Amino acid sequence: MPQYQLVRGMRDILPSATARWREIETTVIDVLSRYGYEEIRLPLLESTELFSRGVGEATDLVEKEMYTFPDRKGKSLSLRPEGTAGCVRACIENGLLHNRKQKLWYHGSMFRYERPQKGRNREHTQIGAEAFGMPGPDIDAEMLVMLARAFRDLGVASALTLELNTIGSAASRARHRQALVDYLTPHRDELDADSRRRLATNPLRIFDSKVPSTRAIVAAAPKLHDYLDAAAEAHFDDLRRRLDAAHVDHRLNPLLVRGLDYYTHTVFEWVTEALGAQNAVCSGGRYDGLVERLGGRAIPAAGFGMGLDRLALLHERSVSADYAQADLYLAVAAPEHASWASALAERIRDATPLRVLQHAGAGGLRSQLGEADRCGARWAAIVGDEEMAEECVSLKWLRDEQRPQAKLTVHALIDALLA
């Protein structure tokens, strides 16, 4: 057993997985940039207050899941548990929202002190995006259309369902919340323990309870939908028409409530059945009041976070792919050919974009070709006495039995590799 072990909830992403991760990341980032989103890079560490104020004091995320500690001068810092608060802070602080719109994306680790299980680690990686300054359903719709494209490009669309809901304006949400608390308080003793706790913290979540007796009480409770104002309904209807027109399938889930305080109006979640209990792969929504709450002007916004750890699990299930380490493996018949082969490898790298893996260390030609096979290379190039004498290379197609091995000049070799 090793002397040092991973800190609980952290994870190593090993070479056998990183090629897949990289493919996922470049695919998603490419789609984002095709919709005009620009990258912003943000710190992992922020003042604790940013999250308690932005995400909400009473949320589970802030209440019990943050990595919080004092720095050397006693100031309370927290590892970011999510990306939106920090992004909004950076935008306000740098004047990015002054009289202009912004579409931004970021990529990186988030930290939450939770009990690890499948699809849930204490460090996880998200790609998130935020759109500032656009109040209408057009940007909500574009964001969802964009995500649908990203999931199609990734090859995981068939495993995902888009769930959608509106929670209305902050004002109508507050009215509903009060009505709900007024309705549930007389039934307080009949609720399960979790729901009693939520009555004070986040009563909307009581709708999610799986306890039958609680469900029976909740069935007659005031519905959020009945408290929506006309503008909120119009916004939501407009969004749904746009999604229909774009053929983005979605399912209404009136119980879908984001656990962070800042959400308003549109909320959404892409869920899968394939990953067990942790089924949300990407979720987000509008947060029209957050910029103001964090000290900026009243600027409407929408955004999402996408969990790459879960997306990678899903991708692994949905897309089988061979990620080769190299394109060409350069083998030598004997050690004295190695320096000539090195020069050849450099010429190939100069002339082509190929990944050229040159043999190093001990091992006969037989074992070198074994390595060539294992690294996934399409070709093996062999250098021996005969080749060196004739300034040639023997090229072997490892994945195509039909093509015979051929002795080629260096020029002909490069042409063959580029063909």
Partner RNA sequence: GUGGGUGUAGCUCAGCUGGUAGAGCCCCGGAUUGUGGAUCCGGUCGUCGUGGGUUCAAAUCCCAUCAUCCACCCCA
User: Interaction with RNA in 220-259: which residues (CB under 7 A)?
Assistant: 258-259
- Pair of tokens at residue 325: 């380490």
Residue from 20, 205, 225, 355 binding RNA (CB under 7 A): 205
Under the criterion CB under 7 A, does residue 188 sit at the interface with RNA? no
Half-sphere exposure of 184 toward its Cβ, with a 13 Å CA cutoff?
30
Count of residues in contact with RNA, rule CB under 7 A: 72
47 or 279: CB nearest RNA: 279
- Check: CB of residue 163 under 8 Å from CB of residue 250: yes
Measured CA to CA, the distance from residue 84 to residue 53 in angstroms comes to: 12
Residue from 89, 112, 176, 240 binding RNA (CB under 7 A): 112
- Angle 102-104-108 from CA coordinates, rounded to 5°: 155
- Check: CB of residue 278 under 8 Å from CB of residue 310: yes
Under the criterion CB under 7 A, does residue 366 sit at the interface with RNA? yes
Under the criterion CB under 7 A, does residue 14 sit at the interface with RNA? no
Under the criterion CB under 7 A, does residue 212 sit at the interface with RNA? no
Measured CA to CA, the distance from residue 330 to residue 339 in angstroms comes to: 12
Residue from 89, 103, 107, 124 binding RNA (CB under 7 A): 124
Measured CA to CA, the distance from residue 240 to residue 231 in angstroms comes to: 14
Under the criterion CB under 7 A, does residue 327 sit at the interface with RNA? no
Residue from 286, 356, 394, 414 binding RNA (CB under 7 A): 394
Specify the 3-state DSSP secondary structure of 149: helix
Measured CA to CA, the distance from residue 407 to residue 383 in angstroms comes to: 10
63 or 237: CB nearest RNA: 63
Q: Find tokens 């690890």 and name the residue.
A: 116
For residue 351, give every residue at least 6 positions away whose Cβ sits within 8 Å of its Cβ, in sequence order, or none.
414, 418
Amino acid at the residue 88:
V
Nearest approach, Cβ of residue 245 and RNA (Å): 25
Residue from 78, 121, 214, 358 binding RNA (CB under 7 A): 121
Region of 155 (left: φ > 0; alpha: ψ -120 to 50; beta: rest) is: left
Under the criterion CB under 7 A, does residue 399 sit at the interface with RNA? yes
Under the criterion CB under 7 A, does residue 108 sit at the interface with RNA? no
Under the criterion CB under 7 A, does residue 371 sit at the interface with RNA? yes
Measured CA to CA, the distance from residue 141 to residue 134 in angstroms comes to: 12
The count of other CB atoms within 10 Å of the CB of residue 188 is 12
Nearest approach, Cβ of residue 241 and RNA (Å): 25
Under the criterion CB under 7 A, does residue 46 sit at the interface with RNA? no
Task: Using the rule CB under 7 A, give the single segment among 68-76, 290-298, 347-355, 393-401 that binds RNA.
Answer: 393-401
Q: Where are the alpha helices (DSSP H) in 112-222?
A: 137-154, 170-184, 193-201, 212-219
Q: Which of residues 265-304 bind RNA (CB under 7 A)?
A: 269, 276-283
Q: Which of residues 53-82 bind RNA (CB under 7 A)?
A: 59-61, 65, 82
- Check: CB of residue 262 under 8 Å from CB of residue 102: no
Q: Mark 134-163 with x for binding to RNA (rule: CB under 7 A) and - for no binding.
A: ------------------------------
Residue from 212, 401, 402, 404 binding RNA (CB under 7 A): 401
Residue from 167, 260, 302, 328 binding RNA (CB under 7 A): 260
322 or 401: CB nearest RNA: 401
Region of 56 (left: φ > 0; alpha: ψ -120 to 50; beta: rest) is: left
Task: Using the rule CB under 7 A, give the single segment among 2-10, 26-34, 40-48, 143-151 that binds RNA.
Answer: 2-10
